[in-house]
A = this chain, B = another copy of it.
């Protein structure tokens, strides 16, 4: 650090030229620059930036009064409503760490998280009162429970000690909250959905949250004129840091308790939405909405998708109904998106099919991510950029988590060799764009050949009658594993047999990749819209 040279003499950090990076700054700025602008819309309720900032200061003040501060966890179980946004600022302003819970989890999982996170305060929406009541029953150190009593939801019970509006009304709207002592301080704790075993607690820091939020604005073209619809759960990596990012831009957050395609189209049109995000499943819901729900809108609407690879057909269908799609890739460990399939001008000239196949790639690192590579996970050497050699996606930079809470073994394993190991298998194309072939555990190895389940799914999604598809490995005495397809047909689809679908695959992929078995029915999903392949694998092996 100190080179003993003239450039390090009497030129130290001071209050005037050094401040810990934190997304709290973003709200401070937008409240100063756009005090009377609508910051948050929730049904008929609107908060200006002045009010948004005051409410978060009240929350911070009330939390500090309640004895919550540095090192404490505040958990929240809420849909995309103002209280959830406010927690993203008020909790860090109180010096505490925000743990946004996945509201689709069961009581046992929530209980595990509350105990592991040592939650001191739990803010909880009435909608989830029964799960939460079960989760906290008999806990050794039960948290203070604050009920959110949102009139937009009917049902559930108030089960806590105090109601949210009452709680924050005890706080000072001009509160002089503390700033993080270090930008490395923990701002949030998100638990991975954990397809096997107990979930891991991903700890994020203020520095990374600040940088990733700015990176999002650059990648997704968000500015003060943007109107962002919350179709992505905020509990999912803090809404991919858009909770902080939209606020930084001084845009408008439009809340949404639940994805109802007809309501989504109505809000897009009525509130002139410009940006939204969601897993491919959200896009699929919009594409397959009833025709009379699909309202036309005049403004361009940018949709960022990620969390799972979007089949190129889904991109094409979204374009057909008026959306512009950007494909992002990342994990909870990388504050949500870490790569973007950055548009290249020459793609304009490609035919629609080639173009959407390009757009379905995971792409290149964010401005704010230092490096991304596809490498051999043993020797850490990058694979050749030939579009064929499989390797693991690894990333490195300031928008990678601090590590897993109280799990040094998992942290060391994830960070071995100086890179974060994503567990996703990909190729690197000659243009440097990466493309996921599978989760490490989702690859199918048949007769010694690697089969990408994603490739077969791509083919299935192109079948005119198929709405959703997932392909998993089924154990096989002869081949080791063979592909087994699970498909959901479109509403009102014509009669299609398993043989028809197998024939469709034969016409489109190499023979050894063709599923041996096709199963019809609804697909099990995680709370973030990812298809639960582990459940399908179990099912496949019982067939």
Q: Which residues of A contact B (CB under 8 A)?
A: 1, 3, 5-19, 21, 25-26, 28-29, 32-35, 37, 70-71, 97, 118, 181-182, 184-186, 189, 203, 208, 214, 217-218, 221, 223-224, 248-250, 342-345, 364-365, 367-368, 370-371, 395-398, 400-403, 405-406, 408, 411, 414-415, 418-420, 432
Contact = CB atoms under 8 A, between A and B. Distances in A.
Nearest to A403: B11
Contacts of A186: 7-8, 11
Contacts of A13: 184
B16 A364 contact: no
* 8 nearest A-B pairs in the assembled complex, by CB-CB distance: A5-B71, A7-B186, A15-B418, A17-B400, A11-B402, A10-B408, A16-B415, A11-B403
Contacts of A368: 214
27 contacts: A3-B71, A6-B405, A7-B185, A7-B402, A8-B71, A9-B406, A10-B403, A11-B186, A13-B184, A14-B415, A15-B396, A15-B418, A15-B419, A16-B414, A17-B396, A17-B398, A19-B398, A21-B398, A29-B367, A32-B365, A32-B432, A34-B344, A214-B214, A217-B218, A218-B223, A221-B223, A224-B343
B411 A10 contact: yes
Interface of A is mostly: loop
A397 to B, nearest CB: 6
Contact of A370 (B25, B344, B408): B25
Contact of A218 (B8, B35, B189, B249): B249
Contacts of A367: 26, 29, 214, 248
Given A11-B402, A217-B218, 11 more contacts: A5-B71, A8-B71, A15-B396, A16-B400, A16-B415, A17-B402, A18-B398, A19-B370, A32-B364, A32-B432, A218-B249
Contacts of A1: 181-182, 184
A345 B250 CA distance: 12
B420 A16 contact: yes
B6 A406 contact: yes
Nearest to A364: B33
Contacts of A415: 14, 16-17
Contacts of A402: 7, 11-12, 17
Contacts of A396: 15-17, 19
Given A10-B411, A364-B33, A16 B419 contact: yes
A16 B208 CA distance: 12
A535 B368 CA distance: 46
A87 to B, nearest CB: 17
Question: Among A1, A17, A37, which residue has the most Cβ atoms of chain B within 10 A?
Answer: A17
Contact of A7 (B19, B203, B432): B203
Nearest to A249: B218
Contact of A97 (B7, B10, B21, B370): B7
A343 B223 CA distance: 11
Contacts of A218: 214, 217-218, 223, 249
A14 B203 contact: no
A301 to B, nearest CB: 18
Contacts of A71: 3, 5-8
Contact of A70 (B5, B32, B185, B203): B5
B397 A17 contact: yes
B33 A432 contact: yes
Contacts of A9: 406
Contacts of A18: 398
A218 B246 CA distance: 12
A446 B60 CA distance: 50
Nearest to A97: B7
Contacts of A432: 32-33, 35
B29 A203 contact: no
A411 B7 CA distance: 13
A394 B101 CA distance: 42
Contacts of A419: 15-16
A7 B405 contact: yes
B6 A397 contact: no
